[in-house]
A and B are shown apart, each in its own frame.
Chain A
Amino acid sequence: MRFNAFRTTSFRLAALYAIFFGLSTAALLLLVYWYTLGQMEQDVENAVSARLSNLQSVYASGGVSALEQALKRESAQPGIRYRYALIDPRGIRVAGTVPYAGLGVEWQELEGEEGDGDNFELTVGGHGVRLPGGWLLWVGRDVETLHELRERLAGAVSAALAVTIAIALAGGVFLGWQVSRRVESMNRTARSIMAGDLTRRLTVRGTGDEFDRLAEQFNAMLDRIQALMENLRQVSSNIAHDLRTPLAHLRHRLEELRGRALTAAQYQDAVEQAIGETDTILATFESLLRIAQIESGRRRTAFTRVDLSALLEELAETYTPVAEDMDHILTAEVAAGVHVQGDRRLLIQMFVNLIENALRHTPAGTRVALRLPLPVAAGVVVTVADNGSGIPAEERDKIFRRFYRLDASRTTPGSGLGLSLVAVIAELHGLVIEIQDNQPGMRVNMRFPAQGGE
């Protein structure tokens, strides 16, 4: 698996996020930085200004000498944070400890280099003020701590930014790798499915996340495809298996005619029979294809509101004389006004198959009942019941399989497809088929799904 973390969408998203996050964090940190330092710088400035105005009032009351004295007193205090300078009009420092010769009224920061006294090196920031007569009074405050803080803060901010971005990127790579792994596993499964193994399914982790949901949907789709392919295989195998016989039969008949001297009437007859055989074969093809079509579910879109009561009444009317002619009795109890959603023509075909099956596979004298009671809690149920010989319990399931004929009825004509068509149409409509012992005979219940609002 060639995994390239950097090409995954997850990584790109994570990188994008990391950038935005990084930028906003940076902005935030810088804000903090500026604000904090700004405050501190402001504090220093204020302190210096306060000191200056203090000293200015001393000068105002006592002149230069008072000022000098005040400065001496201040400077003598141990551990003070201020540095002073009093510069005379000639530019010579008269009092104070700040030696620098470029002092002015603007804010300046100076590296400390002490001269008099036992003052240590100190970095100060301050400004001066001009006094009448050309004097300059300068006050500065220790800004070492400020500088240290500035450095520390800058260091912390950079470190924080770096860590944030690193984490975000690492996270992105990790996420990308996770997602990629999941997707790659899906790809692998898909490849083996395409290579022909239709039984494979995507793994569902059970986390309920979008990948799981996707996997579930794909698996459902694969189930469907597998069913369709199985259906296709079965149709082909059915065609091969059960149509080969009548086709072979037909061929034999035609072969027999070859080279025989028959009368015109005999030929006519033989040809009629051959046409009859061909018709049967074609009808079987037709049914098989129809079953396959219905199974592929395309007809569901053609559903309309069907008057089930009217449909069954009409069928009852149609089949009563047919039943009579076959020495059977058909009765019907159909409640009025029952409607369902479905394909009218397919429903007709389904019920016709059930009724005809009951008529044809029961002995003479059998009663066949068609019932549609008023729907109660159990919903809409159509019942076709007979009091014939019935079906042994083990066979009940199988009668709906294609071409399955009960051993007892193998000799009656018909391709055995009728009931599998019933099964397929029932499935299309979401019907539940129940086969029960009618004691005696067989009872088939067709249960419609809840119609919702009918």
Chain B
Amino acid sequence: MKILIIEDDEKTAGYVVNGLREAGYGVDRAVDGKEGLYLAAGGAYDLLVVDRMLPGMDGLAVVRALRRSGVHTPVLFLTALSGIDERVSGLDAGGDDYLAKPFSFAELEARVRALLRRPAAAVQQTMLRVADLELDLVKRTVTRGGKAISLQPREFRLLEYLMRHAGEVVTRTMLLEQVWDFHFDPQTNVVETHISRLRAKVDKPFQCTLIHTVRGAGYCLREA
């Protein structure tokens, strides 16, 4: 997997490049928008990590230009702008995800993996399956080992998200954003509470644990 990071700040770039290389990815770096556009346009990368604020051509403009020229490489925006509108304008420009600085590396890695995992063409699935856990998207039912599990709507959404990202680490922030549409940090343990409720229904009565906590990062649904 090859990743291109377009970031002018040395410290951030170093942090990200080193971290991603250690995680096993091939990483290239561009120092400004023009260089980034030139490299990315070659289409040789699987993921672009783009800083919003770049000298010369800014991140949004780079991505817009890429999209216009038919380059559909997934894009993760990084930004120090904490604006609420920034997320929307980033997605509008053609970005796929958005991470505010400062971020923990675990958060970055989780999102990178999620973006790389996405299939090029979204296959319409009716069923999600991990080990003996089955989730029927049409009937909105869940069974494990043949036994039906009754879930509240939010629990269903949570499980669906975990299953769609089976094998990947999903962070608390990702869950808050995608499952609850919370774009802020709540002051109570919303995620933990629901994960534990979900575990009680999906894991506890069964032998094999599927929902795992990844310390310092988030959660992961996979066979042990």
Q: Do A and B bind each other?
A: yes
Interface centre among B181, B187, B190 (most CB of A within 10 A): B187
State the CA gap A290–B187 with chains docked (Å).
16
CB distance from A403 to the nearest CB of B (A): 15
Contact A321 B82 (CB under 8 A): no
Residues of B with C-beta under 8 A to A326: 188
Residues of A with C-beta under 8 A to B197: 321
Given contacts A282-B102, A290-B84, A325-B193, contact A317 B154 (CB under 8 A): yes
CB of B119 within 8 Å of the partner chain: no
Question: Which residues of A, 235-293, contact B by the 8 Å Cβ criterion?
Answer: 282-283, 285-287, 289-290, 293
CB distance from A274 to the nearest CB of B (A): 13
Whose C-beta in chain B lies nearest to the C-beta of A299? Answer: B84
CB distance from B63 to the nearest CB of A (A): 21
Whose C-beta in chain A lies nearest to the C-beta of B87? Answer: A345
CB distance from B115 to the nearest CB of A (A): 22
Contact A345 B183 (CB under 8 A): yes
Query: Which of B82, B85, B102, B190 meets A322, CB within 8 Å?
Result: B190
CB of B184 within 8 Å of the partner chain: yes
State the CA gap A418–B187 with chains docked (Å).
9
Residues of B with C-beta under 8 A to A12: none
| Chain B interfacial residues counted at CB < 8 A | 23
Question: Which residues of A, 278-325, contact B by the 8 Å Cβ criterion?
Answer: 282-283, 285-287, 289-290, 293-294, 298-299, 302, 314, 317-319, 321-322, 325
State the CA gap A348–B185 with chains docked (Å).
12
Residues of B with C-beta under 8 A to A290: 82, 84, 184
Query: Which of A286, A289, A319, A345 meets B181, CB within 8 Å?
Result: A345
CB distance from A420 to the nearest CB of B (A): 14
State the CA gap A353–B84 with chains docked (Å).
17
State the CA gap A413–B185 with chains docked (Å).
14
- Contact string, A45-62, partner B, CB cutoff 8 A, digits 1/0? 000000000000000000
CB distance from A335 to the nearest CB of B (A): 19
State the CA gap A111–B82 with chains docked (Å).
102
Contact B187 A414 (CB under 8 A): yes
Contact B193 A322 (CB under 8 A): yes
- Contact string, A332-372, partner B, CB cutoff 8 A, digits 1/0? 00000000000011101100110010011000000000000
State the CA gap A348–B193 with chains docked (Å).
19
Query: Which of B84, B152, B188, B194 meets A345, CB within 8 Å?
Result: B84
CB distance from A278 to the nearest CB of B (A): 8
Query: Which of B88, B153, B186 meets A352, CB within 8 Å?
Result: B186
Residues of B with C-beta under 8 A to A348: 181-182
Contact B154 A314 (CB under 8 A): yes
Query: Which of B82, B88, B180, B183 meets A318, CB within 8 Å?
Result: B180
Question: Which residues of B, 167-218, contact A by the 8 Å Cβ criterion?
Answer: 180-190, 193-194, 197
CB of B70 within 8 Å of the partner chain: no
Residues of A with C-beta under 8 A to B82: 285-286, 289-290
CB of B146 within 8 Å of the partner chain: no
State the CA gap A407–B102 with chains docked (Å).
33
Known: A319-B188, A322-B190, A352-B184. 14 other contacts (CB 8 A): A283-B185, A286-B184, A289-B82, A290-B184, A302-B88, A317-B152, A318-B154, A318-B190, A321-B193, A322-B189, A322-B193, A325-B193, A345-B183, A359-B188
Residues of A within 8 A of B (CB): 282-283, 285-287, 289-290, 293-294, 298-299, 302, 314, 317-319, 321-322, 325-326, 344-346, 348-349, 352-353, 356, 359-360, 413-414, 418
23 contacts between A and B (CB under 8 A): A283-B185, A285-B82, A286-B82, A289-B82, A290-B82, A293-B83, A294-B84, A298-B85, A299-B85, A302-B88, A314-B154, A317-B152, A317-B153, A318-B180, A322-B189, A325-B193, A326-B188, A344-B181, A345-B181, A345-B183, A348-B181, A349-B183, A360-B187
